[in-house]
Structure 1
Amino acid sequence: MYIDCQHLKIEFPIYNAQQRSIKRSLLNLAGGRLGQAGGTMTVNALEDITFRLAEGDRLALLGHNGSGKTTLLRALAGVYSPSGGYVKTCGRISSLLDATLGMEPELTGIENIKLRSLLMGIPKQQLPSLIDEVIAFSELEEFIYLPVRTYSSGMVLRLAFAICTAQPPEILLMDEWISVGDAQFKDKAEKRLQQFIQQAAILVIATHDAHLAERVTNRQLHLVHGRIAG
């Protein structure tokens, strides 16, 4: 298993360069600098990002808000296509970038479990046991046949977290440390998250917390305005 990132560049085009509000929004989102390519104004979100990770590596992405950490995670996950360079991965990628992403509010809890499991590539024969485990861990037995739109935000997060952490990861991408639910559930979720991280062959986590980075990672990458610092 590996992640091979070489000279990665991510650009977002701005098709109407007169709209300053759009420019500012993209800069805040991506953390890059304005540039120009082929007459089109662009935001250079990431530029010349190069690193390689092998099994056992735990990488912390450090930097200020808007430095490009989340953009890099999304590029590693395949959400963004490179404008230059490349990202190659070997291993199943599990993302905790947004645990509730892909939850369908009109579907029931159990339908969401089935849908997310299929999207995660979980074999059909494993589905019954996974459904039982997710329901038990999320403590939503009484609500699992109700539409997710009837859930509180905490209930949605508990269900999404239980689904995301149900399958042992090979390559794990995380955007900050996740905190889920009330005090009692939070303790249970923290233990599950620790175990989930330990099972990963490769971890990449974006964080502002230098102490957390020292505790859970063995490599660090500092980003400044979409470039590797230093």
Structure 2
Amino acid sequence: MNSVLSIKNLKKYYGKIKAVDGITFELYPGEVVGLIGPNGAGKSTTLKTIMGLLRKTEGEIKVCGYDYKDKEARKKLSYIPEIPDIYPMLTVWEHMKFIALAYNLDNWEKEALRYLEAYDLLDKKDELGANLSKGMRQKVMVICGLLYKPEVMLFDEPFVGLDPKAIRELKDTIRELKKEGKSVLLSTHMLDSVQNLGDRVLILKAGKLIYEGTLEEVMEKAGPNGTLEDLFLEVTK
């Protein structure tokens, strides 16, 4: 099976600081992979570099066989950052419209309305981005990321700022994406979410990939009553 995201020897240095130091991994269709690690491990830097928001120092990034800077690769990739960044003078609905125009989407309205209803934003449809709470801005970003149906979705701490219902909805969305054969790279400190949603886990520490394994392997390594948290604390101490 061909990978939908291929990272080879990725490095991102800031002068002498090695934020990402030669990591290699692949993502396959229908996979949810947890990217975890302590603060400063290089998780957000990895996601931003894959998206082209940061310039890589070295290495190869391919999305569905295309170089990550290729226009085709950009259509197949979506990124939900930790801090939601939406346009303050556009309404919620205008954000949907903007995505539809940017990606030449047809008949997108029904899908957009379905997401707005699921994420309790229907009554905020005509509200300006500037007037939304952080949690609501996060929901708008999630919906915009889902609307054009990318092959690979990168989530950076997506549960932060969401209310319990929205967290449940997002988890259901991730499960739905998996069923549809889409791939998710999920960076989060909520390890129980990775344990419940993930197929594999990647653990970063000081810019290096120090552990990679399936959830089955993780549970086996953690012991009979062990958890992902136990393994995480063991390998990162």
Do they superpose with TM above 0.5? Answer: yes
Aligned twin of 2:33: 59
Question: Measured at CA, do residues 97 and 137 of structure 1 come closer, stay the same or move farther in structure 2, by a change above 3 Å?
Answer: same
Q: How many angstroms apart in 2 are the aligned matches of 1:218 and 1:138?
A: 25
Q: How many angstroms apart in 2 are the aligned matches of 1:96 and 1:190?
A: 14
Structure 1 length as normaliser, TM-score?
0.71
Structure possessing the higher radius of gyration over alpha carbons = 1
Runs of 4+ with deviation above 6 angstroms: none
Amino acid at match of 1:7: N
Q: How many angstroms apart in 2 are the aligned matches of 1:129 and 1:76?
A: 31
Aligned twin of 1:147: 128
Question: Identity of aligned pairs, percent?
Answer: 22
Counterparts of 1:14-163 in structure 2, within 5 Å, are: 35=16, 43-90=17-64, 92-98=76-82, 100-101=84-85, 103-119=86-102, 121=103, 123-163=104-144
Tell me, what secondary structure is at the counterpart of 1:229? strand
Query: Which piece of structure 1 moves more, 157-166 or 180-189?
Result: 180-189
Tell me, what secondary structure is at the counterpart of 1:160? helix
Query: Once the 2 structures are TM-superposed, how far is the Cα of residue 206 of structure 1 from its aligned partner?
Result: 1.5
Structure 2 length as normaliser, TM-score?
0.69
Q: CA RMSD in A?
A: 2.9
Query: Once the 2 structures are TM-superposed, how far is the Cα of residue 66 of structure 1 from its aligned partner?
Result: 0.6
The unaligned stretches of length 5 or more in structure 2 are 65-72, 212-237
Query: Which piece of structure 1 moves more, 62-71 or 161-170?
Result: 161-170
Q: How many angstroms apart in 2 are the aligned matches of 1:108 and 1:86?
A: 38
Question: Measured at CA, do residues 72 and 181 of structure 1 come closer, stay the same or move farther in structure 2, by a change above 3 Å?
Answer: closer
Question: Measured at CA, do residues 83 and 179 of structure 1 come closer, stay the same or move farther in structure 2, by a change above 3 Å?
Answer: closer
Q: How many angstroms apart in 2 are the aligned matches of 1:60 and 1:183?
A: 20
* CA displacement, residues 19-62 of structure 1 (integer Å, 9 cap, x when unaligned): xxxxxxxxxxxxxxxx2xxxxxxx22111111223224432222
Query: Once the 2 structures are TM-superposed, how far is the Cα of residue 75 of structure 1 from its aligned partner?
Result: 1.8
Amino acid at match of 1:109: V
Tell me, what secondary structure is at the counterpart of 1:66? coil
Aligned twin of 1:21: none
1:196 aligns with 2:177: yes
Aligned twin of 2:11: 9
Aligned twin of 2:215: none
Question: Measured at CA, do residues 12 and 132 of structure 1 come closer, stay the same or move farther in structure 2, by a change above 3 Å?
Answer: same
